[in-house]
Amino acid sequence: MKKILSTLLLLALFYGNQADAALSPSPQSAFNDIPVSYKDGCHANVNQARVKVCKYGDTIEFNYTVAIIGDSHAGHWLGALQAFAKKYDIRIVYATKSGCSMTSQYMPKYPSCNEWNKNLIPTIARYHPDLVLTKADYSLASVKTVPSGFIDKFNELKKRNIEVFAIRDTPRFAVNIPACVSKYGADSIKCKTKAMPKPSNWSKLKTKPTNVHYFDYTFRQCDNTYCHPVKNNIITVRDQHHMTNTYSQTFRTYILKDMMPILREVRARKLASTK
């Protein structure tokens, strides 16, 4: 009996290690599975106040321009857009800053964020974006509504006739996901977090800016009970709350389906205004 138990334990350890080895990215490399914008210097750190813009996708013969702006929770959608941008003639202009959401709220302890936010929309507007992609709200449990500073910035974009593709903020976990998955396994309850609350903060808004198109993709990571650290053998989060670039790319079909009708409508409207 002891031999049988020992054999079963060895098999469990073997196949458990095999399963972890099959994860993409691996738990050991997940933290560095980041958008290319970090390496290109277009994700400003906490000390940088200058808005630096990078361009991706079709940068020469593009028909559409999508701007990704805001904090890292806007920036981690770059991988998804890069997966289809060239094929659909989309230029991506990108500018994000660590811990600095696109907001009008003054942050006394973060002066570089205030300066960066003041210049963000005027800088991006020079590229004449058809659409701005950013996060719609916060997934922090302590935040129960969409901040008024977000609404101010959405309205600032509206004054410039710029549409917004606002995505519900992604889940936050209580533990470091790569470390947890490595130690306990991809399906361990220790690595999961509670499902996102319903309705979302955006859905509770009584008055919504008319230029904002809201999308909630959390259903791909969360069910009615939990948000999961691994989906289809892909580690979803590289720390506690930033998507891995590999997982971001899996949203390409969903975002493409939702984004292209808006881009075509904006394009048609612009062409009509020139006649």
Picking from 190, 262, 275, the residue whose alpha carbon sits closest to that of residue 230 is: 190
Task: Report which of 83, 110, 81 is spatially closest to residue 97, judged by C-alpha positions.
Answer: 110
**Would you call 57 helix, strand, or coil by DSSP?**
strand
Full set of structural domains in the chain with CATH: 24-263 (3.40.50.1110)
pLDDT value at residue 156: 98
**How far apart, in whole angstroms, are the C-alpha atoms of residue 43 and residue 257?**
27
SS3 132: strand
176 three-class SS: coil
| Residue length of the chain | 275
Q: What is the pTM of this model?
A: 0.91
| pLDDT recorded at residue 273 | 87
Which amino acid type is present at position 229? Answer: P
Per-residue pLDDT of the chain in tens (275 residues, 90 and over written 9):
445 444 433 444 444 443 455 999 999 999 999 999 999 999 999 999 999 999 999 999 999 999 999 999 999 999 999 999 999 999 999 999 999 999 999 999 999 999 999 999 999 999 999 999 999 999 988 888 999 999 999 999 999 999 999 999 999 999 999 999 999 999 999 999 999 999 999 999 999 999 999 999 999 999 999 999 999 999 999 999 999 999 999 999 999 999 999 999 999 999 998 87
What local confidence, expressed as pLDDT, does residue 143 receive? 86
